């Protein structure tokens, strides 16, 4: 295991239970992962074993006609494949293989919902941004939609468990990988650019043409919070924006995790001077004061990756007439240590603004 991978392993070891469990990783699987890690086993190998076992159980249940059991284990497998690939920073064949299996398992789970979770493909610069759309049940009218954007390594399927909170409130939920993220990057080779907000705005434009939808919201998690804040600054069709754990200047993460330069390199497919220009160019300066749509910022004061002061600055500079900031005294990164409070607070806010 190289130095960068070991550093990422050590970081994940202190963080994951309040990120992994709310986002679908089974508690028993998590305990096994930690126990095997203490014995010196690689995260990837343990997660592969866990995922393949869950996938086998899902396939057997599906063959036997036990639909809900099959769906449960397909989702368990999805989560294990996802957690396993976190620590593979660059797009190696092993990472790609795990992600192929992740997509296969989630695709099978998606078919077992009513209505089925749909795949969405949005063209951009000769490639496709790919996502999953969950519609509310039993609706014959146009509904609001919230677009969910992940961060540097927590991509669309990680947010599946949140989809229920939107669906039961009558809101459609589009989990999508923008440039540099998930399937869009790994298989469609669409990498992140400094002006990534143009790609995310293209998602908004695409959704605005779908006659099933009325108002449009967007939420970004972690680094994705920065991405959606930039998007809110340029979009004229976005009706509400939530920044959860974002940043005014994402370069600040390097003071805590210097090896994160490698993650930015994987997101962008850039190196050396080009990568340095990208990292130094990431800022909300000149963008925060262009945000006018309703805005909700949620952040933990104990977040070691992105500063609460940066989020406060976005709030102060934005021109939104309807804006709220929630800073948690004990909150960690993305306030995952208050996961249920956060998702209900955010979905209730979207309901008030969009419905």
Count the Cβ atoms, other than its own, within 10 Å of residue 208: 17
116, pLDDT greater than 80: yes
134 beta partners = 173
CA 316 to chain CA mean position, Å: 25
Non-local CB neighbours of 164 within 8 Å, separated by 6+ positions? none
Least confident of 152-156, 162-166, 296-300, 313-317: 152-156
4, pLDDT greater than 80: no
- Residues 65-81 have pLDDT tens digits of 999 999 999 999 999 99
Residue 15: predicted pLDDT: 42
Residue 18: predicted pLDDT: 73
The better pLDDT of the pair 10, 283 is held by 283
Residue 21: predicted pLDDT: 79
The better pLDDT of the pair 26, 199 is held by 199
Residue 348: predicted pLDDT: 98
The better pLDDT of the pair 167, 19 is held by 167
Least confident of 68-72, 85-89, 163-167: 85-89
Please state, in angstroms and as integers, the Cα–Cα distance from residue 305 to each residue in 244, 308, 333, following that order.
Answer: 13, 10, 7
**What is 295-344 written as a DSSP string?**
EEEEEETT-SSS-HHHHHHHHHH---SSEEEEEETT--GGGGGGHHHHHH
At residue 73, φ and ψ (nearest 5 deg) are -80, -30
28, pLDDT greater than 80: yes
Residue 43: predicted pLDDT: 86
Percent of the chain surpassing pLDDT 90:
85
12, pLDDT greater than 50: no
Pair 134, 173: CB distance under 8 Å = yes
Residue 2: predicted pLDDT: 52
At residue 85, φ and ψ (nearest 5 deg) are -80, -10
Residue 13: predicted pLDDT: 42
Give the pairing of strands 172-176 and 143-149: parallel
Pair 282, 226: CB distance under 8 Å = yes
177, pLDDT greater than 80: yes
Give the pairing of strands 295-300 and 323-328: parallel
Task: Quote the Cα angle for 103-94-221, to 5°.
Answer: 55
Please state, in angstroms and as integers, the Cα–Cα distance from residue 166 to each residue in 156, 200, 312, 351, following that order.
Answer: 15, 20, 27, 9
- Residues 235-247 have pLDDT tens digits of 999 999 999 999 9
- Residues 253-295 have pLDDT tens digits of 999 989 899 999 999 999 999 999 999 999 999 999 999 999 9
H or E element in which residue 207 lies: helix 197-208
Q: Which domains does the chain have, with CATH numbers?
A: 1-112 (1.20.1440.110), 115-355 (3.40.50.1820)
Mean confidence (pLDDT) of the chain: 94
pTM metric for this prediction: 0.94
């Amino acid at each position: 295991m190289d130095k960068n991978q070991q550093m990422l392993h050590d970081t994940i070891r202190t963080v994951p239970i309040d990120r992994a469990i709310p986002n679908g990783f089974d508690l028993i699987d998590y305990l096994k992962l930690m126990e095997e890690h203490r014995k010196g086993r690689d995260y990837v190998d343990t997660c592969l074993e866990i995922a393949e076992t869950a996938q086998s159980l899902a396939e057997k249940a599906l063959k036997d006609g036990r639909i809900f059991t099959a769906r449960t284990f397909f989702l368990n497998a999805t989560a294990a494949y996802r957690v396993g690939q976190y620590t593979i920073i660059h797009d190696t064949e092993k990472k790609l293989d795990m992600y192929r299996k992740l997509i296969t398992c989630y695709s099978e789970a998606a078919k077992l919902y009513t209505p089925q979770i749909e795949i969405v493909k949005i063209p951009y610069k000769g490639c496709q941004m790919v996502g999953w759309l969950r519609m509310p049940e039993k609706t014959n009218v146009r509904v609001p939609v919230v677009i969910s954007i992940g961060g540097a390594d927590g991509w669309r399927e990680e947010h599946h468990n949140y989809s229920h909170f939107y669906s039961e409130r009558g809101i459609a939920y589009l989990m999508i990988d923008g440039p540099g993220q998930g399937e869009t990057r790994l298989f469609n080779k669409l990498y992140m650019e400094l002006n990534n907000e143009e790609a995310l705005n293209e998602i908004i434009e695409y959704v605005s043409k779908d006659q099933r939808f009325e108002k449009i919201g967007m939420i970004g998690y972690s680094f994705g919070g920065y991405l959606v804040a930039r998007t809110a600054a340029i979009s004229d069709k976005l009706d509400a924006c939530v920044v959860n754990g974002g940043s005014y200047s994402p370069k600040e993460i390097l003071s805590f995790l210097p090896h994160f330069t490698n993650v930015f390199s994987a997101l962008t497919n850039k190196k050396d001077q080009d990568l340095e220009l990208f990292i130094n160019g990431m800022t909300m300066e000149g963008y925060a004061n262009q945000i006018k749509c309703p805005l909700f910022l949620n952040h933990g004061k104990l977040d070691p990756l992105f500063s609460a002061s940066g989020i406060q600055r976005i709030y102060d500079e934005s021109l939104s007439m309807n804006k709220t900031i929630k800073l948690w005294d004990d909150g960690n990164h993305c306030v995952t240590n208050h996961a249920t409070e956060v998702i209900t607070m955010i979905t209730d806010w979207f309901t008030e603004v969009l419905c």
